[in-house]
């Protein structure tokens, strides 16, 4: 699945090819500049594309000190940052529909402007994330890789909102 084909607005902010040894650099250079209260990161890519690996490094670099685990079976994990900021890590692989997502009452997490949300497998809630005002806070991250070069990845970022580094 290539989510950037589904985007309705915004520009590709960054596109970078990288190897597994470059994950720290990708996080530092391309993902952390968007990290702030209210940010929503939506990570797409096939199984094995490196979503969880990138997310773990992002969360660690952003200050999460607890053990970072994949929430595949629990749907989400909550981590705590100073100043009562919560980070919610969702894995929506097993969520079958937007209605199922609403039934689990996860939506309120996205509407709290103090929460930072990172999502693996966001396609099921694309309609929610693409509507105003949430679409103003979403950083779409699409990871691609070629089976012929499994150690190489391409990271595409897209956002409606400009990041402060781009305005300078």
CA distance 104 to 147: 35
CATH superfamily of the 3-160 domain:
P-loop containing nucleotide triphosphate hydrolases (3.40.50.300)
Nearest to 149 by CA among 30, 17, 47, 22: 17
Q: What angle do CA 162, 165, 168 make, to 5 degrees?
A: 100
pLDDT tier at 161, thresholds 50, 70, 90 = low
Its pTM stands at 0.84
- Determine the pLDDT at residue 12: 60
Name the CA radius of gyration of the chain, rounded: 15
pLDDT digit string (tens) for 86-142?
Answer: 999 999 999 999 999 999 999 999 999 999 999 999 999 999 999 988 999 999 999
pLDDT tier at 155, thresholds 50, 70, 90 = confident
Residue in the block written with tokens 């997490």: 109
Residue in the block written with tokens 């806070």: 137
pLDDT digit string (tens) for 5-47?
Answer: 343 345 567 778 887 788 999 999 999 999 999 999 999 999 8
pLDDT digit string (tens) for 42-95?
Answer: 999 998 888 999 999 999 999 999 999 988 889 999 999 988 899 999 999 999
- Determine the pLDDT at residue 2: 32
CA distance 166 to 168: 6
Q: What is the largest CA-CA distance in the chain?
A: 45
**Which whole-number Å values give the CA distances from 156 to 67, 98, 108, in the listed order?**
27, 25, 28
**Which whole-number Å values give the CA distances from 1 to 124, 149, 155, in the listed order?**
12, 18, 14
Domain ranges of the chain: 3-160
Start-to-end CA span in the chain (Å): 33
């Amino acid at each position: 699945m290539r989510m950037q084909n589904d985007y309705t607005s915004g520009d590709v902010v960054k596109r970078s090819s990288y190897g597994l040894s470059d994950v720290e650099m990708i996080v530092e250079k391309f993902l952390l500049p968007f990290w702030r209260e209210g940010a929503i990161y939506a990570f797409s890519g096939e199984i094995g594309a490196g979503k969880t690996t990138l997310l773990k490094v992002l969360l660690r670099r952003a200050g999460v000190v607890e053990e970072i685990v994949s929430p595949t079976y629990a749907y989400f994990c909550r981590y705590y940052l100073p100043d009562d900021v919560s980070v919610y890590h969702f894995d929506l692989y097993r969520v079958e529909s937007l209605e199922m997502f609403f039934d689990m009452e996860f939506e309120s997490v996205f509407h709290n402007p103090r929460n930072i949300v990172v999502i693996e497998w966001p396609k099921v809630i694309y309609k929610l994330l693409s509507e105003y005002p949430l679409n103003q806070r979403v950083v779409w991250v699409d990871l691609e890789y070629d089976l012929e070069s499994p150690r190489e990845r391409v990271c595409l970022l897209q956002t409606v909102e400009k990041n402060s580094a781009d305005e300078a």
